[in-house]
């Protein structure tokens, strides 16, 4: 099973809302990633968790708050977002050391901030 599952597929939220994106993998991968992708652009790395600990934060604004409850789950908590945060949010996982193994992506969560 080489699957990364993301929920919800679509999310619309106002600037005062609090919502969460969820990601799950059962491949035994110990590195998990959040990427943000704008239209016609490549994915941009936001956060990396390695063995359930935050390993990399690419200077992401605090209105994005990641959480890794266990080795299979990764959440991204959203609060007080701006319309420019509207994008496709992608979760990925890989085996072994951060950023060295084959990356497996989920289908993404399309976020619209009104």
Partner 1 sequence: KQEVTQIPAALSVPEGENLVLNCSFTDSAIYNLQWFRQDPGKGLTSLLLIQSSQREQTSGRLNASLDKSSGRSTLYIAASQPGDSATYLCAVIHGFDGGFKTIFGAGTRLFVKA
Give the residues lining the site for partner 1 (CB under 8 A). 2, 4, 6, 41-43, 45, 56, 88, 90, 92, 97-100, 102-108, 110
Q: Which CB, 33 or 64, lies closer to partner 1?
A: 33
As measured in angstroms, the least distance from the Cβ of 35 to partner 1 is 9
As measured in angstroms, the least distance from the Cβ of 81 to partner 1 is 20
Q: Which CB, 40 or 70, lies closer to partner 1?
A: 40
As measured in angstroms, the least distance from the Cβ of 16 to partner 1 is 27
Listed residue (111, 103, 110) closest to 25, CA to CA = 103
CA distances (Å), 61 to each of 36, 46, 78, 79, 82, in order? 13, 10, 10, 11, 11
Q: Which CB, 66 or 106, lies closer to partner 1?
A: 106
CB burial of residue 92 (10 Å; 0-12, 13-18, 19+): buried
Task: Give the count of beta carbons closer than 10 Å to the beta carbon of residue 91.
Answer: 25
As measured in angstroms, the least distance from the Cβ of 80 to partner 1 is 26
Q: Which CB, 64 or 89, lies closer to partner 1?
A: 89
Cα–Cα distance measured from residue 98 to residue 81, given in angstroms and rounded to the nearest whole number = 28
């Amino acid at each position: 099973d080489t699957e990364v599952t993301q929920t919800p597929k679509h999310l619309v939220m106002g600037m005062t809302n609090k919502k969460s994106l969820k990601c799950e993998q059962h491949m035994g991968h110990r590195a998990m990633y959040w990427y943000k992708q704008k239209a016609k652009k490549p994915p941009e790395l936001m956060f990396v968790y390695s063995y359930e600990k935050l390993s990399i934060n690419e200077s992401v604004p605090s209105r994005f708050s990641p959480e890794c409850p266990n080795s299979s789950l990764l959440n991204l908590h959203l609060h007080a977002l701006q319309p420019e945060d509207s994008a496709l949010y992608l979760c990925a996982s890989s085996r072994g050391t951060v950023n060295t193994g084959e990356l497996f992506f989920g289908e993404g969560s399309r976020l619209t901030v009104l």
